[in-house]
């Protein structure tokens, strides 16, 4: 999702993901990485992760098809040890459908 050469910056990609799903499920943490081109989400629980998956997988973002993969919680915590484990949840200023 993140492609700095095409003008798809990490901040824009992060906000686009939050706009798409933050009003439908509980998002604890969202990190966009320009080096890998990925956006990582930590959801409130497995049900929230399923809602995020349903809304993001197969979505087109700036002419790029979004593919969602699950990451084990232990692996996420290794990658982002400072990610919160509970509220407050992230919101978007511009929710979209």
Nearest of 62, 23, 47, 24 to residue 39 by alpha carbon = 62
Q: What is the pLDDT of residue 9?
A: 80
Parent domain of 64: 4-76
Mean pLDDT value across residues 5-22: 82
For the cut 60, the answer to whether the pLDDT of residue 4 exceeds it is no
Mean pLDDT value across residues 4-20: 79
Mean pLDDT value across residues 9-21: 90
| Residues listed for the chain | 97
- Could you tell me if residue 85 is inside a domain? no
Give the model confidence (pLDDT) of 18-73 as tens digits: 999 999 999 999 999 888 889 999 999 999 999 999 999 999 988 889 999 999 99
Q: How far apart are CA 11 and CA 17, in angstroms?
A: 10
- Could you tell me if residue 45 is inside a domain? yes
Number of domains in the chain: 1
Q: What is the pLDDT of residue 96?
A: 76
- Could you tell me if residue 97 is inside a domain? no
Q: Which residue has the tokens 């929230």?
A: 48
- Among 36-40, 55-59, 80-84, 93-97, where is mean pLDDT lowest? 93-97
- Could you tell me if residue 81 is inside a domain? no
H and E: helices and strands count for the chain:
3, 4
Degrees to nearest 5, angle at CA 17 with 1 and 87: 135
- Could you tell me if residue 83 is inside a domain? no
- Could you tell me if residue 90 is inside a domain? no
């Amino acid at each position: 999702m993140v492609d700095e050469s095409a003008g798809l910056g990490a901040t824009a990609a992060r906000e686009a993901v939050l706009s798409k799903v933050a009003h439908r499920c509980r998002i604890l943490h969202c990190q966009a990485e320009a080096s890998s081109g990925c956006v990582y989400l930590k959801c409130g629980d497995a049900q929230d992760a399923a809602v995020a998956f349903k809304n993001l997988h197969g979505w087109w973002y700036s002419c790029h098809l979004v593919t969602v993969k699950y990451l084990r919680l232990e692996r996420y915590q290794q990658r982002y040890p400072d990610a919160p484990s509970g509220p407050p949840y992230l919101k978007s200023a511009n929710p979209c459908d």
